[in-house]
Amino acid sequence: MSASIPSVSKLSSRIVRILGCNPGPMTLQGTNTYLIGTGKKRILLDTGEKNVPLYMNNLQKFLKEESLMLDRIIVTHWHHDHIGGVEDILETIQPNLSIWKYPRKDSEDDYFSKPVNLNFLEDGQEIKTEGATLRIVHTPGHSTDHIVLTLKEENSLFSGDCILGEGTAVFEDLYEYMKSLDLILSIKPDVIYPGHGPIVENPSPKIKFYIDHRNKREQGIIGVLKNEPNRLFTEMDIVKLIYTETPEHLYPAAAVNVGHHLSKLLKEGKVGLEGSKWKATGIVCPPNRL
């Protein structure tokens, strides 16, 4: 268990972390949101969940005490624990802010109940505020619109949900996620500020662990199927055999990850599918959902 993350933490001369106050099995101690810059107007990265008064109070109090305003809001991806607080901030702290995110392949209209000033980011785009130069890096896999941001002045990286401060991340597309991990490794940041959990110092070993972990999971899944070649497996059957050190309340999330591994392996011709169950051999055409 990592040390408790304070509600407000000054992490460097240009980074303040405001904890989203939304703890849970998937959010750890809560969503990390970040104020970035050194001037009177700061960029806010991610906004936590909707209707969390404690987070709004902490953010508003810090801004008031430091005589700060928000420059804009950037969100790492569309998930509710990162974008949910946008409307609360516009209503209670500062209206008329511009909201920035990477475009998503499906609807962009289901985030907000009211019109907002929504703008779309581009891969490689630079955004500057006093004391900070951020570069947008598209890193799909956890979601199609996921981005990480590099901070030029510190050679640091805000990883969103690509890399967490503890544990491993879930993903929508394993193939894309693995490419994104390789990309982050090639950036060689000195420190990672994650969307959940504590700061990652000396991040290269952590990134390599994520890559190795997914490769080992894949080998474990193949091993289970090959060990009983005549048996048909559900995702949960496999979870119970290979996630032996994982708490049972996380099994559903693990089953989703196993499903993504199996989808990747099916596309590569390494496993077969009969109906909704999986086997080691006998490749069957994938259903439309794959």
pLDDT-above-90 percentage for the chain: 78
The answer to whether residue 288 sits within a structural domain is: no
Q: Which helix (H) or strand (E) holds 11?
A: strand 8-12
CATH number for the domain spanning 98: value is: 3.60.15.10
Look at residues 202, 229, 253 and tell me which one is the last residue of a structural domain. 202
pLDDT of 84-132, one tens digit each? 999 999 999 999 999 999 998 766 667 888 889 999 999 999 999 999 9
Residues 149 and 31 in one domain: yes
Look at residues 181, 202, 223 and tell me which one is the last residue of a structural domain. 202
pLDDT of 54-90, one tens digit each? 999 999 999 999 999 999 999 999 999 999 999 999 9
Residues 113 and 182 in one domain: yes
Alpha-carbon span 20 to 58, nearest angstrom = 9
Residues 237 and 188 in one domain: no
Residues 172 and 241 in one domain: no
- Answer with the residue of higher pLDDT: 136 or 104: 136
Residues 186 and 241 in one domain: no
pLDDT of 12-35, one tens digit each? 999 999 999 998 888 989 999 999
Residues 190 and 258 in one domain: no
Q: Which domain holds residue 180?
A: 8-202
Residues 132 and 231 in one domain: no
- Per the structure, the count of domains in the chain is 2
pLDDT-above-70 percentage for the chain: 94
Residues 198 and 224 in one domain: no
The answer to whether residue 133 sits within a structural domain is: yes
Q: pTM of the predicted model, to two decimals?
A: 0.86
Residues 220 and 185 in one domain: no
Alpha-carbon span 79 to 47, nearest angstrom = 11
- Answer with the residue of higher pLDDT: 95 or 174: 95
Q: Strand (E) positions, the chain?
A: 8-12, 15-19, 32-36, 41-45, 69-74, 98-101, 117-120, 126-129, 132-138, 147-151, 156-160, 191-194, 200-201, 272-274, 277-279
The answer to whether residue 182 sits within a structural domain is: yes
Residues 101 and 231 in one domain: no
